[in-house]
Amino acid sequence: MTIRDQLKSQMFKARAVAFGCWLVLAGCLFFFKNSINPAWFSIPFIGFAGSVLYILFFVKCPMCGARLGQVLSSMHKPDFCPGCGVNFDSRA
Q: What is the pLDDT of residues 40-81, one digit of tens each?
A: 788 899 999 999 999 999 999 999 999 999 888 888 889 999
Count of domains in the chain?
A: 1
Q: What is the pLDDT of residue 30?
A: 85
How far apart (Å, rounded) are the C-alpha atoms in residues 1 and 92? Answer: 6
In a domain, residue 66? The reply is yes
**Which structural domain range is residue 53 located in?**
3-73
In a domain, residue 89? The reply is no
The 8 Å CB, 24+ separation contacts for 57-60 are 59/7, 59/10, 59/11, 59/14
In a domain, residue 88? The reply is no
Per-residue exposure over 75-84, b if at least 16 CB sit within 10 Å of its own CB, e if not: eeeeeebeee
Kindly give the residue spans of alpha helices, DSSP state H, lying in 1-92.
3-31, 42-58, 69-73
In a domain, residue 61? The reply is yes
Q: What is the pLDDT of residue 28?
A: 84
How far apart (Å, rounded) are the C-alpha atoms in residues 4 and 8? Answer: 6
